[in-house]
Structure 1
Amino acid sequence: MTSPEWNRRRVVGAGLGAAAALSGCAGRPGPPRRLRLATGPEGGPYNAFGRALAEAVAADGGPLEITAVGTAASVDNLRKLDDGSVDLALAMADVAEGAVTGREPFSRPVALTALARVYVNHTHLVVPARGPVRAVADLAGRTVASGAEGSGVQVVADRVLRAAGPGTGRAPVRERHLGLDASVDALREGSADALFWSGGVPTPALSELAHGLPVRMLPLDGYVGALRERYGPVYSAVTLPAGAYGLTEPVGTIGVGNYLLARADVPDGVVRDLLRVLFGRWRDLLREVTAGARLEPRFAISTGAVPLHPGAVAHYRSVYG
């Protein structure tokens, strides 16, 4: 067991007593407990996951009700969590860690807690296969769709471009902040030379794009070291597999986890009820966003600098025994 895993288990054990006491005193509420979950734009993976989770909670027949709220995604979600307009949120790990530490794009630390790390995003840098762009450096002076304002895609795209420095000594990259559908349209019509996306594999919109426009996925795994050195271990080397998007061989890229997050004042018993549904229905939920992923406690508790909610501590401690 690695040291971070052991430390996280110690955190889980240490928090059990207080969390169990709070949960036991609260009991299960009589009337429904309604929670608002910040997801992402309509048609995106966060929105699909959030709606599927809301449906799973409703089918469970318990006291919880979840409303999936459409948003611009990660950054927007955590700002809504901070101002109290939502109770739960989905966000990429790099954005969540930036929030708790007060690092860009946040101007101060944001109080939030983690319920689970649910799956890993793969960073896609997509260009036309017949075009001249074969490496990040080739983007100098070109137009790149780099994610919608308020999205985690925008954060990782900006960090990759800074790490690569494709504009050094040449024309800078021209960024357009577009959501996934608009980015796909821009690449297809030629008004963008490349698009960034961070999501599960395969992402349906990109699969559809690749059916009509042969694409190339630029390798990004060479930038993982620089990103980890500057931003910590939220980034990892992962692979886009051969076969996805018409790829003839695997392409190394950047992985970043996705967290299910909550305000600290969400009751412990509510969190435990929600996690029970999440772990009971994870196959159905992850089918909405990425193929072949699994959700296990040892994976789910790996939330880095973002502290686990006391109710999540109690849930995971009960799983470990």
Structure 2
Amino acid sequence: MKVNIPWVVGLTIAALGAAGLGGQTARVPGSDADPASCAAGSGRITIATGNSTGVYYVMGGALARLVNGHTDVRAGAAETGASVQNIRQLVAGDYDVAFSLADAADAAVRGTSPFGEPQKIRTLGRIYPNYTQIVVRADSGIRTVADFKGKTISTGSPLSGTEAIATKLIDAAGLDELDVNRQRLDLTKTVDGMKDGSIDGLVWSGGLPTSALTDLYTTLGSEDLRMIDPTPLLPEMKKKSAVYDTATIPKATYDLPADVPTIAVPNVLLVRDDMPANLACALTTLVYDNRQALGAAHPAGKDIRVDEADRTAPIRLHPGSERALAGLTSR
């Protein structure tokens, strides 16, 4: 029976302590149920999302509501800087579930930059794709990523998946980081800078549509903005990570003059490798059984597919998720 429990956004570990966990050792979430089952058990979890105007934030809140409404686990969703920060704080124990771009997770399991060693993480499964969205002011003279030279470009929040992709794109275009006046801004500040002209362009990796970009296009209009096609850089990008692929941003997304080819990267839900298998199984089942609810929260959720959930290489599925997906795909 579904229980209507308010979703608490930005729930922090300190807040959990104030709720009654302070001063005592908290039980590992899900550890009170049979590990061979798909029962969630009980306890508290925190989900690391992303910028408040991004898709992770919306989807993370929707996931927290599903957990609260369908299990005895209490969940909260926290606003963060996104992928790289999420992984680091997931491993540190600050969060229990984390949204991440697959390229950042790939670097984490291999221990490559910006991670100094392999991280002990697993995934619950592949979810919807992120689209690389490069938007510039029409008066900036920018038509390719190589034209970023000498321009002021927002490359996303520090330690975000967007920043990682922007850095790789700049390198793939043959530019040095010092060639670009990089601004490490969250999406809200980025859009404000695009509106007032202090920023020439932005790189954003997110689902479609992203509300902050909808606001930008509504304010300035497509005649004052240009969306850049980065696909000529795909061969170089794939040398850095095999997870990149081509995709299309439909013109209806932001009332664009035409469809725009782009580079896409899958998103994954990450957990530590020591999460109880029963909880991982329960969470995985919850996500893929409730794709309609996630799609109602944001259109990106409609792109979550059970038949692609296990396509996460080189990020290994959690054993509990493997069990869940085997049952879901055999239905």
TM above 0.5, one fold? yes
User: 1:293: how far off?
Assistant: 3.3
Partner of 1:121: 130
Q: What is the match of residue 187 of structure 2?
A: 180
Cα deviation, residue 27, structure 1: 7.3
Residue 130 of structure 1: how far off its partner (Å) = 4.1
Are residues 1:213 and 2:213 paired? no
Please, which runs of 5 or more residues in structure 1 have no aligned partner?
Answer: 1-21
Shift of 1:102: 0.7
2:262 maps to which of 242, 253, 265:
253
Cα distance, 1:65 vs structure 2:
1.9
Query: What secondary structure sits across from 1:286 in the alignment?
Result: helix
Q: Distance in 1 between matches of 2:50 and 2:210?
A: 15
Distance 2:137 2:227 in 1: 9
Distance in 2 between residues matched to 1:118 and 1:237, nearest whole Å: 17
CA distance in 2, matches of 1:184, 1:260: 27
Matched, 1:202 2:209: yes
Q: State the partner residue of 1:13.
A: none
Cα distance, 1:291 vs. partner? 4.4
Q: Is 1:43 aligned to residue 50 of structure 2? A: no
Q: Distance in 1 between matches of 2:188 and 2:53?
A: 9
Q: Which amino acid aligns with 1:224?
A: L
Partner residue in 1 for 2:10: none
Residue 284 of structure 1: CA displacement? 2.4
Contact 2:40–2:283 under 8 Å retained in 1: no
User: Aligned to 2:302, what secondary structure does the other structure show?
Assistant: coil
- For 2:40 and 2:147, locate their aligned partners in 1 and report how far apart those are by CA, in whole Å: 58
Q: State how far apart, in whole Å, the 2-side matches of 1:33 and 1:234 are.
A: 34
1:11 is matched with none
- Separation (CA, whole Å) in 1 of partners of 2:301 and 2:326: 26
- Equivalent of 1:150, from 151, 156, 159? 159
Task: Please tell me whether the aligned partners of residues 45 and 288 of structure 1 are also in contact (alpha carbons under 8 angstroms).
Answer: no
* Superimposed CA distance per residue, residues 90-115 of structure 1 (whole angstroms, 9 cap, x where no aligned partner): 11000000000011111111010010
Q: Which residue of 2 aligns with 1:86?
A: 95
Normalised by the size of structure 1, how large is the TM-score? 0.86
- For 1:181, the aligned partner's letter is T
Q: 2:148 & 2:38 partners in 1: Cα distance?
A: 57
**TM-score of the aligned structures, taking structure 2 as reference length:** 0.84
Q: Which residue does 2:326 correspond to in 1?
A: 317
Deviates further, 99-108 or 267-276: 267-276
- 1:275 counterpart residue number: 284
Counterparts in 2 of 1:29 and 1:56: CA distance versus 1, 3 Å: closer
Contact map agreement 1:128 1:213 (CA 8 A) in 2: no
Question: Does the C-alpha gap of structure 1 residues 318 and 173 become closer, same or farther in structure 2, counting only changes over 3 Å?
Answer: same
Q: Which amino acid aligns with 1:318?
A: G
Task: Indicate yes or no: 2:104 matched with 1:95.
Answer: yes
Q: Paired residue for 1:294, among 303, 307, 310?
A: 303
Instruction: Measure the CA separation in 1 of the matches of 2:53 and 2:328.
Output: 34
The one-character-per-residue Cα deviations of 1:168-207 (angstroms, maximum 9, x if unpaired) are: 9xx8111010011111111111111101111011111111
Taking the aligned partners of 1:278 and 1:292, their CA distance within structure 2 comes to 10
Is 1:141–1:167's contact at 8 Å kept on the other side of the alignment?
Answer: no
Does the CA-based 8 Å contact 1:283-1:294 persist in structure 2?
no
Cα distance, 1:81 vs structure 2: 1.2
Deviation at 1:167, TM superposition (A): 5.5
Q: Distance in 2 between matches of 1:142 and 1:303?
A: 36
User: Is 2:233 the counterpart of 1:223?
Assistant: yes
Shift of 1:133: 1.5
The answer on 1:133 being equivalent to 2:145 is no
Task: Give distance in 2, aligned partners of 1:278 and 1:299.
Answer: 13
**Partner Cα separation in structure 2 for residue 202 and residue 192 of structure 1:** 21
Shift of residue 294, structure 1, vs aligned partner: 2.8
In the alignment, which residue of structure 2 is the partner of 1:18? none
Paired residue type of 1:41: N
Which one of the candidate residues 77, 80, 84 is aligned to 2:86?
A: 77
- State the alpha-carbon separation in 1 of the partners of residues 47 and 301 from structure 2: 25
Report the AA paired with residue 283 of structure 1: Q
- Which residue does the alignment assign to 2:20? none
Structure 2 equivalent of residue 52 of structure 1: 62
User: What is the match of residue 232 of structure 1?
Assistant: 241
In 1, are the aligned partners of 2:291 and 2:304 still within 8 Å (CA)? yes
| Paired letter, 2:67 | V
**Residue type of the partner of 2:187?**
L
Distance 1:289 1:221, change over 3 A: farther
Show structure 2 runs of 5+ residues with no match: 1-33
Distance 2:312 2:273 in 1: 15
